[in-house]
A and B are shown apart, each in its own frame.
Chain A
Amino acid sequence: MKTGARILIDNLKEQGVDIIFGYPGGSVLPIYDELYDADIRHILVRHEQAAVHAADGYARASGRVGVCLSTSGPGACNLVSGIATANMDSVPIVALTGQVPTGMLGNDAFQESDITGITMPVTKHNFLVNDTIRIPQVIAEAFYIAGTGRYGPVLVDLPKDVLMRSVSPEEILPGIPDLKGYKPTYHGHPRQIKKALDLLRESKKPVIYAGGGIVASGASEALCRFAEEMEIPVTTTMMGLGAIPSDHPLNLGMLGMHGTKFANYAVTGCDLLFTIGARFDDRVTGKIDEFAPGAKIIHIDIDPAEIGKNKAVDVPIVGDAKVVLDDILERLNPEDRVIRTAWLEEIGKWKKDHPLTCGNGGGLHPQQIIREISTLLDGGGIIVSEVGQNQMWAAQHYGFKKPRQWISSGGLGTMGYGFPAAIGAWFARPEETIVLIAGDGSFQMNIQELGTVAQYKVPVKMMILNNMYLGMVRQWQELFYEKRYSYTELPFVDFVGIAKAYGVPGRVVESEKDIVPALKESFETDGPFLIDFRIEREENVFPMVPAGAAIKDMIGEHVEQEDD
C-alpha cells in the first residue's frame, strides 16, 4: 500500500524532477512529510510567488520543466501571477497545489479556493485530482502537456484526502498520458515550405523576425546557419534575444517599442518578413497596419492559433521552429542563395547612422553599467531582469552570445519576477554567473527572497539600477502626461542595509569610476552580492515608439535630452 503523497513523489522522480520550489501549509503536509527524506531537493522560498517564478527561471535556463508546490487557498492564489507569466511566455512548468479534502470541496472550507477555476484562463491546462489511483496518470499528462507542443504551465490540484489515502499497487492507473485531443504538429507542410522558399528566392529585401520560439525549440544554430547561407538580416523580439549573437554581422538587435532604429526601419522597408516563433505582439508591431506594410509574410509557429491572429499571413507553416528550419536547410539549393548587396548596404547605413548610445553627462548611466557587465563577463553568464527601464537597458546593451542567457518576463511584464527567477536559474545552471538587473521598484516586490539567497548561498549578483522612481512609468508620465509624476516617486531605501540584515553583502555605487571595481568585487565574492547603483534619476529608454504609433516613427536617441 502507498499513500497518494508517496505515489506523487515517486512519479515526480520518474519524470526526472530533482528540485521543487515551494512553501508548506496544512493541505500539503502529506507531501512535505514525504519530501523530508525523498531525494528530491526542496527550496523553501519566502513567498509562493517566488516559488513559481523560480520554477519558471529554472525552466527557461535549463529547457526542462520547472516544478513548484504550494498549499491550498492563499498559497495557491499566490501562484497566479507567476503562472500567468509562464503562460504568456510559453514556459513549461508544473504547479502542484494542495486542496481541501474532496468531501469539503465547494463548502468554502478553511483555506479553500477554486484554483482550477481561477487558473483556467492562465494555464495551458489544469487538473483537479479526484482519486488517488489517478495520480500517476495526471502527473504523466501534466508533464507531457507542459513540455511538448507550445510549452506552458500546467496546474495539478491535489485534495488532502487524495494525498493521504493508501491504495494497493494493482489499483493504480498506469502513468501513461491518455489525451485524445492533444497532438502537436512538429513538421511543417512540405508544400508550404516550398512556397516559402519560392518567396525567399524572389525577395529583394527580406528580414527574419525571430521570437522566443527559436530559443524554446533550440533552433538558434539552425537560424544562424539559415541567415548566413541566405544572407538575410535577423531581428529578434525581446524573448528571442540570444538566438543570434549580438555581434553577428546579420543581427539587427531587438525590434519594436524599444528596439533599434535600424531593426524597425528594416522591418518597415522589407518586402518579405520571415517570422519564426514570434507572435506579432503589440509591443513589437506598434500600429499593426504599418508593420511591415509592403511585405509578404511567412510565419512558422508551433501554435496554429498564432498564425494569422494579428496579421494576415501569406505562407503559414505550423510546426516546431527547429524541425522546420532543419527541413528548410536540407532543401536549400544553390539557386536559392540570392546576393542582396543593395539591401544589406541600405541596412548598413541605417546601422551606422542610428547606433544605440549611452546617456551622457556626469552622472551614472545605466546603459554603461550594463555594458561594463557585458565586458567583464565577455558576454557570458545568465542575465535575468526585472521589468521596466532596467529590463530594456539590459535587453538593448548586453552582448548576448547564446540562447537561454536572457531571462525576462515578456508577455506579462511581471515586476518581482526577476529576483526569484534568477534563483531558479542558478539551481538549473550553477556553473554560470547569474546577474540580476533590477529596478528599485521591482526589487521591492520580492525583496524577501534575500532570505532565500542567504539561506542557500545562491550567488545571484543583484544589480539594482536605483533611480528612486518607478522609472518606466515615470518616463511615460514625462513624455505623455506633462511630467505629472503621480505616485511614481519612491523614497530612499538602504538596500545594502536590508541585504546586510539578511546576511548578504553589498555596496553602493554613486560614480562612474566605481562601477568596474564594484562589479569585480561582486563577481569575486562567493555567494550573493548586491550593488545599489544610484543612477541618473531621469534617464530615459530610447529609442521609443509611442504606444499605437508605427514602428518607423521612433522618438529619441540616447543623445541630448531637451530640458524645457
Chain B
Amino acid sequence: MKQHIISVLVENRSGVLTRVSGLFSRRGFNIESLAVGTCEAPGMSRITIVACGDDAHIEQVKKQLNKLIEVIKVIDITERSHVERELVLIKVNAEPGKTRSEVMQIADIFRAKIIDVGQETVVLEITGDTEKIRALEELLVPYGILELVRTGKVALQRGAATISPGK
C-alpha cells in the first residue's frame, strides 16, 4: 500500500466532483485527500487526488476515472519528478507570556505565518509537504491544538511536463 498522487484534468461541468467522489466511494477506493479548483485552461478544473493502494488498485482508479465523460486526462505523478504542497491552518493555545513566545518561535522556525492572534490562541498558516506539516503538528500538540484544517495536497510536475488539454 503506497500513497499515490493523481492529477486529473476535468471539464468544469456541474456534477463532475460528485461523479469523481462517487466513483471512489462506490468502488471502495479510499481517498486521503482531494483538492479541486479551476485552472489555466478555460472551462476546466484540475483535481489532485491522494489515494492509497497497491499498483493494481491504483491502475483501476485511473481507468475508472478515465471512463468518466468529463475527465480529459489522468496521470499518476507519484513516480514523476514533482512538487507538492498543502496548506494547513492550525489554531493552537498560546497564552500571553512564555507559551505564546514559544509558539511564535516554533512558527518562525517552520516559516509558518501567524494570521490571527486571540486572547489565548493564535492561528498559524503553514504551507509545505507532508513531512514538514507533520513535524510542526507534533511540536504544537503539547500546547493544545484546538482546531486544524487542511486543503488537501496539490501537486505539479517539475519542469516543462504538463497535463494540458492539448497534450
Interface residues of A (CB under 8 A from B): 116-117, 120-121, 124-125, 128, 130, 145, 179-182, 303-305, 308-309
Distance in angstroms between the alpha carbons of A308 and B62 in the assembled complex: 13
Contacts of A305 on B, CB cut-off 8 Å? 60, 63-64, 66-67
Name the contact of B72 in the complex, choosing from A125, A181, A308, A309 (C-beta under 8 A).
Answer: A181
B159 contacts partner chain A, Cβ-Cβ < 8 Å: no
B71-A308 in contact (CB<8A)? no
* Extra 4 A-B pairs, beta carbons < 8 Å, given A120-B15, A305-B67: A120-B19, A120-B22, A181-B71, A303-B67
Which residue of chain B is the closest to A307 with respect to CB atoms? B63
Q: How far is the CA of A116 from the CA of B165 in the complex (A)?
A: 27
Knowing A304-B63, A305-B64, A308-B56, say if A181 contacts B19 (CB, 8 Å): no
Which residues of B line the A interface, CB within 8 A?
A: 10-11, 14-15, 18-19, 22, 26, 56, 59-60, 63-64, 66-73, 165
Contact A145 B15, CB 8 Å, known A121-B26, A180-B165, A305-B64: no
Q: Which residues of B contact A303 (CB under 8 A)?
A: 67
- Judging by beta carbons under 8 Å apart, are B14 and A121 in contact? no
Do B18 and A117 touch (CB < 8 A)?
yes
Most buried by A among B14, B56, B67: B67
A180 and B166 CA atoms in complex are apart in Å by 10
Say whether, besides A120-B19, A121-B22, A128-B14, A181 and B63 are in contact (CB < 8 Å): no
Q: What's the Cα separation between A124 and B68 when bound, in Å?
A: 8
Q: Is the CB of B26 within 8 A of A309?
A: no
Given contacts A120-B22, A305-B67, contact A181 B59 (CB under 8 A): no
Nearest-Cβ distance from residue B10 to partner chain A, whole angstroms: 7
The contact sample of 28 A-B pairs, CB cut-off 8 A, is A116-B15, A117-B18, A120-B15, A120-B18, A120-B19, A120-B22, A121-B22, A125-B69, A145-B69, A179-B69, A180-B165, A181-B11, A181-B68, A181-B69, A181-B70, A181-B71, A181-B72, A181-B73, A182-B69, A303-B67, A305-B60, A305-B63, A305-B64, A305-B66, A308-B56, A308-B59, A308-B60, A309-B60
Bound state CA distance, A124 and B64, in angstroms? 12
Bound-state Cα–Cα, A193 to B92, Å: 61
Min Cβ gap B126→A in Å is: 35
Closest residue of A by beta carbon distance from B74 = A181
Known A180-B165, A181-B71: A304·B66 in contact at CB below 8 Å: yes
A181 to B47, CA, bound (A): 15
From residue A101, how far is it (CB to closest CB) to chain B in Å? 17
* CA A243 to CA B71, docked complex, whole Å: 34
Give the shortest distance, in Å, between A310 (CB) and chain B (any CB): 10
Bound CA span A317–B165, Å: 25
Using Cβ atoms and an 8 Å threshold, which residues of chain A touch B56? Answer: 308
- What A residues does B63 contact at CB under 8 A? 304-305
Whether A181 contacts B10 in the complex (CB less than 8 A), given A121-B26, A145-B69, A304-B63, comes out as yes
For the complex formed, measure the closest distance between the CB of A414 and the CB atoms of chain B, giving whole angstroms: 19
Q: Report how far A145 CA is from B72 CA in the complex, Å.
A: 15
Give A144 Cβ to nearest chain B Cβ, in Å. Answer: 10
A120 to B11, CA, bound (A): 17
Of all chain B residues, the one with the shortest Cβ separation from A149 is B67
Residues of B within 8 A of A145 (CB): 69
Residue pair B18, A180 in contact (C-beta under 8 Å): no
Residue of A nearest to B61 (CB): A305
Q: How near does chain A come to B67, taking the closest CB pair, in angstroms?
A: 6
Residues from chain B with a CB closer than 8 A to the CB of A180 are 11, 72, 165
With both beta carbons as reference points, the residue of chain B lying nearest to A152 in the complex is identified as B67
Q: Which residues of A contact B70 (CB under 8 A)?
A: 181
Q: Which residues of B contact A125 (CB under 8 A)?
A: 69
Give B81 Cβ to nearest chain A Cβ, in Å.
Answer: 26
CA distance A120 to B56 in the complex (A): 25
Instruction: List the 3 closest A-B pairs by CB distance, nearest first.
Output: A305-B63, A181-B72, A125-B69
State in angstroms the CA–CA spacing of A181 and B60 once bound together: 18
A308 to B61, CA, bound (A): 12
Of chain A, the residue at the smallest CB distance from B13 is: A127
* Closest chain B residue to A182, Cβ basis: B69
In the bound assembly, the distance between CA atoms of A321 and B111 in angstroms comes to: 58
Min CB gap A186→B, angstroms: 16
| A121, A145, A180, A181, most chain B CB atoms within 10 A | A181
Query: Smallest Cβ distance from A6 to chain B, in angstroms?
Result: 25
Cα(A508)–Cα(B157), bound, Å: 72
Residue of B nearest to A305 (CB): B63
Residue of A124, A125, A145, A180 ringed by the most chain B CB atoms within 10 A: A180
Which chain A positions have C-beta within 8 A of B165? 180
Bound-complex Cα distance A304 to B65 (A): 11
Min CB distance A116 to B, Å, is 7
A312 nearest in chain B by CB position: B56
CB-CB under 8 A from A308, the residues of chain B are 56, 59-60
**Residues of A contacting B72 in the complex (Cβ-Cβ under 8 angstroms):** 180-181
Closest B residue to A150 by CB, please name it: B67
CB distance from A184 to the nearest CB of B (A): 10
In the complex, what residue of chain B is closest to A126 when comparing beta carbons?
Answer: B15
Q: How far is the CB of B29 from chain A (nearest CB, A)?
A: 13
- Min Cβ gap B57→A in Å is 11
Distance, CA A130 to CA B56, complexed state (A): 39
Contacts of B64 in A (CB 8 A): 305
Distance in Å: Cβ of A300 to nearest Cβ of chain B: 16
Residue of B nearest to A125 (CB): B69
User: Across the interface, which residues of B come within 8 angstroms of A128, CB to CB?
Assistant: 14-15
Rounded to whole angstroms, the CA-CA distance of A182 and B60 in the bound complex is 18
Residues of chain A within 8 A (CB-CB) of B68 are 181
In the bound complex, residues from chain A placing their C-beta under 8 Å from that of B26 are 121
Please report the C-alpha to C-alpha distance between residue A145 and residue B22 in the assembled complex, in whole angstroms.
20
